[in-house]
Amino acid sequence: MSNKILVAGAGGFIGGHLVAELLKRGHKDIRAVDIKPFDEWYQHFPQVENLQFDLQLKDVCEQSAKGVAEVYNLAADMGGMGFIELNRGLCMLSVLINTHLLMAARDAGAKRFFYSSSACVYNAEKQTDPGVTGLREEDAYPAMPEDGYGWEKLFSERMCRHFMEDFGLTTRVARFHNVYGPNGTYDGGREKAPAAICRKVITAKLTGKHEIEIWGTGEQTRSFMYIDDCITGIDKIFRSENVTFPINLGSAEKVSINQLVDMVEDIAGIKLKRHYKLDAPKGVNGRNSDNTLIKKTLHWEPDTSLRAGMEKTYAWIYDQIKGK
């Protein structure tokens, strides 16, 4: 029986960390696929089968899934709020990736399929208050997700469910809450808040221009999950027998964007004058992960403190910028 593993989106931030972890655990038969040229992959491992493919195409997904036992779908056209609010059509086209991968996995006889969903599936009416309580899994319905990106994620969740029910393909779905850490995007427009704030603070420190632009009022709240917790959570969810439904994978440590800036300033040993860009994309006013279900089913939750994760992230981004 084949034990080949397909990692779709392997050239991305989370996909690169996942391939690294699979190698660390002794998996050797890995097929890594991403649309980006190899020199743009965040992590590249020559000992695995690396393919530069556009997974929106059905025949490409069939070729990628040939002979595989397990599929991790982390591939999507996405980024931070600045990207997804301005590229809704592009984000929705990612539905082709999951649709064609599900079909290819089914036809190839794969045993398990993982889909990376997002907290952007949650009903916007439950995220209007910065003091929001944690979002529970059932809060995705009645449906009113983030326009574009969130709708694509919610639809793809349903496809995973029905492929399991109709075709017997074991699917697992995790709703990621703002993953951050080293070896990821920190500039160019697709970066998320932790990396963007690190970059801005580092640039201010290195240039001596002690100012920072913050999108929105800075009072909007989020939780942020360190990449190591994300990879651990993916494995636990993927291997579980009882998590047959979409489940939160995120930290329950809620902070405002202003508090996050405070933290990065403290790490950098600097204070900056703040300018608030009130017309910039900022997403919902409040979002946090309710981890009741993951603790109940897996007896675990992401537990890396935001401070510890941000210190590592800041150090990595500092080295990247300093080395340019």
* Per-residue pLDDT reduced to its tens digit, 168-181: 999 999 999 999 99
At residue 266, the pLDDT reads: 98
Residues 159 and 143: their CA atoms lie apart, in Å, by 15
Integer CA distances (angstroms), 130 to 29, 68, 249, 253, 319, in order: 45, 44, 20, 13, 33
Tokens of 218: 């800075």
pTM, entire model: 0.95
| Residue of 149, 180, 186, 318 with catalytic role | 149
Q: pLDDT for 74-122, tens place per residue?
A: 999 887 777 888 889 999 999 999 999 999 999 999 999 999 999 999 9
Q: Please give the Cα distance from 259 to 263 (Å, whole number).
A: 6
Task: State how far the Cα of 65 lies from the Cα of 309, in Å rounded to an integer.
Answer: 34
Phi-psi region of 94 (alpha: psi -120 to 50; beta: other; left: phi over 0): alpha
Residue 265 and residue 306 in contact, taking contact as beta carbons nearer than 8 Å: no
First CA to last CA distance, the chain:
47
Reply yes or no on whether 115 is catalytic: no
pLDDT of 1 reads 58
DSSP 251-283: ---EEEHHHHHHHHHHHHT---EEEEETTS---
Amino acid present at 60: V
pLDDT (0 to 100) of residue 83: 83
- For residue 218, the model assigns a pLDDT of 95
- Please give the pLDDT value at position 264: 98
Q: What is the DSSP string of 296-312?
A: HHHS------HHHHHHH
What are the 10-residue block averages of pLDDT along the chain, 324 residues in total? 91 97 96 97 97 98 98 89 85 96 98 97 91 91 94 98 98 97 91 95 96 94 97 98 97 97 98 94 88 98 98 97 84
